[in-house]
Amino acid sequence: MIKIIKFLNRKFILAFLMFSTVSSFAIEDKKFTQANEFTINYENVAILEYIQFVSKICGINFIYDEKDLNFTVSIASKEPITKQSVMSSLMQVLRINGLYLVEEGQSVIISKSEDVKELAPIVARGDKDSNYPIITRILSINNVSPDEIVTMVKEMVSKDSLVELLSDTRQLIITDVISNVEKITSLIENLDRAKSPLDIEIYSLQNNSSKTLITLAKQIMEPLIAKNPYILVPQDSTRKIYIISTPMLAQKTLTVFKNLDIEPKSEIKTLENQQIFIYRPVYRTQDDLKNALKEISANLKKEGMPKAGLIEAIDNMKWLDDTKSFVFSATDATISKLQKLLQSLDSASSGQKTIHPTFFLYNLKHVSGDKIEEDLEKLSEKFKDQDVKDQKLLDVLDTAKWVKETNSILLTGDPTAIDEVKNIIAQYDNAQNMKVTFFIYTPKHATLNDLDNYLKDVSKNFKSSNLADPELIDAVESMKVLPSINSIIFTGSENSLTKVKSLLSSYDVSKEGLFKGNFLMLTPTHVTLDDVENAFKDISKNLKSSGLADQPLLETISSMRPVPTTNSIIFTGDQDTLVKIQSLFTSINAPTSKQAIQELGKTNFWVYQIQKASPSQLVGSIKSITVDLEKIDSSDKYFISALKSIRYVKETNSIIFVGTPDALKKIEPLVKKFDIPSEKGEITSTYYVYKPTYLTGPELECVLCEFAENLKLSNLDNEGLYETIESMKFSEQTNTLVFTGDSDSIQEIKNLLASFDVADSEHPTAQEISGLEDLGFLVYKLQYHKGDEIQEALKQIAQDLKSADNEAAVKFKLVKSIDSVQWIKITNSILCSGDKDTLSKLKELISSLDVPLKQVFIEILVIQTTLTNALTFGLDWGSKYQHKDQAVLGMSNFIPAATGSTNPFATTFNTINTSTKPTGTDLSLGDGFNLGVIGDILFHKGKSFLSLASLLKALQSDTETSIVLTPKIIAQDGKSATIFSGQNIPYTGSVIQNTAANTTSTTNLEYRDVGTSLTITPILGNSDTVSLTIELETSSTASTTANQLQLGSLTGITTTKTNMSTAVQLANKNFLVLSGMVTDSKQRSKTGIPCLGGIPLIGAAFSTDDRNLSRNNIVIFVRPHIINSFKDMKSVSNNQEDYFREQAGTPTLEKDYDESVELIKSYEND
């Protein structure tokens, strides 16, 4: 019996049974409802009940005969599956049991008859609204063989599926469950891809013209093209370029276009190539000419013309109202283009005569220039109020300027208008306009003679300084001294006499009690006391040389007294003068005054107090221009090295440079140009805390810093992002990164972290492998430690957990999983088994153990000096006499040699007799000064002889030895690091001889390490304190062969050895003396004849003196530098690279050093 099953129409009992059956699934599916995914677990359930469940969740009606559905099914799913997968699996089960499916709208008919067929709905690819279980799709095949595709697809699908080919149109028709159709569609699309060797790419123009880009790209790509097709087709109407070539060449061309198609950069401005060009419009008005130039600039930008210099000159032009002219700043080539452009724009119309502007300098005779200038301005205002139409006359009046140095008026403009203004000035500049009066002054405190000398000096200084005030000079020179009334009379204009009164009142003051009760104590904060004192002395000297008549100010400066104990300076004077002193001191004690080049030992440095710019903006600008200068011109290495030494001091908001004085002087104007306020307003700051997922905190720090450096090199202006990256701090306790900055920059940081902190081959995620029911596997790839170390630590944890009997049942699963841990040596991974929850805990435990160790960079300095002074002085002499074989007489003063040997000079002398004569070889001379003689005289026909011998020895030797060792090493926390530098010296260790029928001899050669050996084991905590266990051994061979030991046929070697073994705790980046030893030895020996050898002066002939002084100093320093991040590691590497480059010695060795370093940097640069 065929029934239409709908859940709303079922009988109550059937509904109750059905819902009771699937209720467990409803509970289990809650967390997957939003994602339309389900977890299904049926065991030996009737197929009817499963069909009812599928009907409910998929919303599809099923039509069937209960007799045909008399079997059961078991379904188990560990992961959630979609509705499509549920529906597809049901249909496949029905097909396996010999049932056929026919879709009719939202209903599916289940039948055993294969005669009933219905066309399934046609659904195109990408149609997400399709809910049909069985669909039909038409696929077009373009490149591969359709017959082969059909054959392959038919082997993949069931026999009930429909697969037909339309050969004429190369179309494939497929009808099957939706999941199979989707998979077949993806398969055919991957197979049916074009196999043409050529590809077409499209590039959209941004800044330049297509012609320019195509020409440059062909030149660049020419070496790569070879014989491959390469066509570039421009389409100017759409600003596109079509690229037809191989895929590789097409992609490279796109990259070349992107690099070339950038906005033309402005010309490099320097003091040498920049010129000023002033142009005054002749025929066109200011606005007309300005608008025309702006329009030309806009068209050049739109067309992408590479004329950045001309565009920038037009955009930066200025209009001067005073001279009614335009001002341009550009190079000579750009100015030449501007001149041609302006001549064509500002040309005379047809029939109009060209009139060129001129100028005239009018010399005043009677009236001061400032008064004439003021009168001309008032006259111009009156003309404008009366609506005078002569614009040329108004222009000349407006542009009239007083030249102080020559007391003249400069007129520029139309010649006719200048002539009119000359007549106007002549009316003002006459003697009648200058009202002459007189003034009598009676001194109050100064004498007439002092005032006379003072005013003469003032007049002389006024003339020597080219003061452009003839009225004042004439008034001063007009003075007449009247001793009878103790007065001085002056004549001149009222204005000049007022100035004379001011001069007299400033000089004629009381010298007694003037400064009583008024003093000023000033304490410099930005400069030294000596700088303030020298500055005031220079000011006083300059004021006197310029003829300043403010005598109280000069006397107050001379009253200056520095007080070193309080770091202050005291002035005495009247209240008004002290106010002037305070103003002068404020300018001297300005923050910028500290910015002088200072010297500390042999180091020159310059401190600049930041005024307007933000620290990151200023430091970033300096670093960016340093990189550019290094690329353009690296000849001035001292200047570039000083720029690289920039350091920001947060406490004083200043930056410090270190270098030569000349280089620091060049830096000063450069820094001041960059110290300008940012155009951006104040932005509210916020913070963001991020916990790394795959990469470690230090690795993310390094990645972000390198990313910021690359952005700066590409001239990207994003100060907010740079400041946020620089504010980054990593906390080891919480394993988090903290950022501060504005909200936009924080959002950019979040996007960057999402892109950078991802799993890769070096940082894979821990993989969980499915197992059997409750048994799973975990493979954890270790990042920082060997697997045996982690395995041993886990075993120890498990042993501790086993000892707690009361909690053994709770921790049994974790202990069991730890016991199953295996180390896979080939991949350095940890493999363990257990249930899902236990593996999750174990994974967290392993990740907390597998953390990077902190590192420390340790510098050791060993200084060893040796000073030796040796002096030897003595006289050896002897005499023998024999008389006719009857008597013998002998006398000598031979000093014995070293223990176990005889004096060679005495041995030689004793062999001389009547038959043995002295020869040249008998007098052997040693080191130092030697004077010797040996003689033998025979008498009585050889029966008597007299032999004499004498040898004077004098030797003084001085030896100075200095050894400086600087071993440096990086070590991890708790792990020993060893470094050895020296030689492996051979020596004869043993000689074995076997004496028998045949004698055999065997010699063994052994080796000894001689040099410097350093072993360090650091222990780092969370603070900036380092605990070090250091073992240092320094050895060297003896400098002479006299120190070699000869024992039979064995030859030994003598070495000097200094070793140190200690454990110490010290702060980060601090020097510490680990050990020091000074050895001072004095040795003196005197050998001579008793009594005679002690006689002053004469005793030197009967004795030998040996004196030996030796001093040996050795001191050892150590300094640790904790490496907190990869950024610190990079900084240390760069500093050491620069240090060893400077220690190369010669330019040739420095060049070889740079070439060698480039070998390891080439990969990074590529």
Q: Which helix (H) or strand (E) holds 411?
A: strand 408-413
SS3 1018: strand
HSE-up of 510 (CA within 13 Å, CB side)?
Answer: 6
What CATH number has the domain bearing residue 700? 3.30.1370
Q: Residue 528: inside a domain, yes or no? A: yes
pLDDT confidence of residue 24: 36
Is 52 in the same domain as 185? Answer: no
Q: Residue 269: inside a domain, yes or no? A: no
Query: What are the phi and psi torsion angles at 812 (to 5°)?
Result: -60, -45
**Cβ-based neighbour number of residue 1029 at 10 Å:** 14
Is 49 in the same domain as 72? Answer: yes
User: Tokens at residue 914, please?
Assistant: 């009547």
Q: Pick the last residue of a domain from 797, 818, 851.
A: 851
Q: Residue 953: inside a domain, yes or no? A: yes
Is 923 in the same domain as 1020? Answer: yes
pLDDT confidence of residue 35: 47
pLDDT along the chain (1166 residues), means of 10: 38 34 38 58 80 81 81 80 77 78 76 68 67 79 80 78 81 82 82 69 83 86 83 84 86 87 63 71 78 80 63 81 78 80 69 55 75 81 74 80 75 80 76 62 74 79 66 78 74 77 73 56 78 82 64 81 80 83 80 55 74 80 80 74 82 81 82 72 69 81 82 72 82 79 85 80 53 71 85 83 59 81 87 84 84 85 80 69 63 59 63 62 56 55 58 69 78 86 77 68 77 86 83 76 58 78 85 73 74 65 75 83 80 81 77 77 50
Query: What are the phi and psi torsion angles at 51 (to 5°)?
Result: -65, -40
Q: Residue 353: inside a domain, yes or no? A: no
Is 910 in the same domain as 934? Answer: yes
Q: Which helix (H) or strand (E) holds 484?
A: none
From 58, 54, 47, 55, select the one nearest 98 (Cα to Cα): 47
Q: Is 226 exposed, middle or buried (0-12, 13-18, 19+ CB in 10 A)?
A: exposed
Q: Pick the last residue of a domain from 558, 573, 594.
A: 594
Number of domains in the chain: 12
pLDDT confidence of residue 354: 45
User: Tokens at residue 41, please?
Assistant: 């677990």
Cα–Cα dist 1075/1153, whole Å: 34
From 439, 585, 448, 424, select the one nearest 507 (Cα to Cα): 448
From 787, 792, 851, select the one nearest 818 (Cα to Cα): 792
Q: Pick the last residue of a domain from 594, 624, 651.
A: 594
What CATH number has the domain bearing residue 209? 3.30.1370.120
719-723-725 Cα angle (round to 5) = 120
pLDDT confidence of residue 678: 64
Assign residue 573 a region (left: φ > 0; alpha: ψ between -120 and 50; beta: otherwise): left
Is 178 in the same domain as 233? Answer: no
Is 924 in the same domain as 1042? Answer: yes
In DSSP terms, which residues pair with 1076 in a beta bridge?
1115
Is 840 in the same domain as 875? Answer: no
pLDDT confidence of residue 939: 53
User: Tokens at residue 578, please?
Assistant: 């002290």
Cα–Cα dist 390/384, whole Å: 10
User: Tokens at residue 965, please?
Assistant: 């060792």
Residue type, 926: G
Cα–Cα dist 744/724, whole Å: 10
**Cβ-based neighbour number of residue 468 at 10 Å:** 19
Cα–Cα dist 345/326, whole Å: 14
SS3 283: coil
pLDDT confidence of residue 10: 39
Cα–Cα dist 661/821, whole Å: 65
Is 604 in the same domain as 668? Answer: yes
Is 723 in the same domain as 821? Answer: no
Is 413 in the same domain as 544? Answer: no
**Cβ-based neighbour number of residue 99 at 10 Å:** 20
Q: Is there a contact between 414 and 354 (Cβ–Cβ < 8 Å)?
A: no
Q: Is there a contact between 878 and 1102 (Cβ–Cβ < 8 Å)?
A: no
Cα–Cα dist 597/587, whole Å: 18
Q: Is there a contact between 475 and 492 (Cβ–Cβ < 8 Å)?
A: yes
Instruction: Output 156-160 pairs: Cβ under 8 A, ≥24 positions apart.
Output: 156/184, 157/184, 158/92, 158/95, 160/95, 160/100, 160/101
Q: Residue 1149: inside a domain, yes or no? A: yes
Q: Residue 721: inside a domain, yes or no? A: yes
Q: Residue 652: inside a domain, yes or no? A: yes
Buried b / exposed e along 194-211 (16+ C-beta atoms within 10 A): eeeeeeebebebeebbbe
User: Tokens at residue 605, please?
Assistant: 């440095």
From 213, 207, 210, select the one nearest 240 (Cα to Cα): 210
Q: At what angle do helices 494-507 and 551-558 cross, to 10 degrees?
A: 30
Whole domain around residue 388: which residue ranges? Answer: 358-433
Instruction: Provide the strand spans (E) within 816-943.
Output: 822-824, 829-834, 855-883, 887-893, 929-939
Buried b / exposed e along 473-505 (16+ C-beta atoms within 10 A): bbbbebbeeeeeeeebebebbebbbebbeebbe
3-state SS of 494-525 is HHHHHHHHHHHHHHCCCCCCCCCCCEEEECCC
Q: Is there a contact between 554 and 583 (Cβ–Cβ < 8 Å)?
A: no
DSSP string covering 44-70, please?
EEEHHHHHHHHHHHHT-EEEEEGGG--
**Cβ-based neighbour number of residue 293 at 10 Å:** 20
- Counting runs of H as helices and runs of E as strands, what totals does the chain give? 31, 50
Q: Residue 725: inside a domain, yes or no? A: yes
**Cβ-based neighbour number of residue 964 at 10 Å:** 9
Is 869 in the same domain as 975? Answer: yes
Q: Is there a contact between 958 and 998 (Cβ–Cβ < 8 Å)?
A: no
Is 914 in the same domain as 992? Answer: yes
Strand order through the sheet with 318-320 = 275-279, 325-330, 318-320
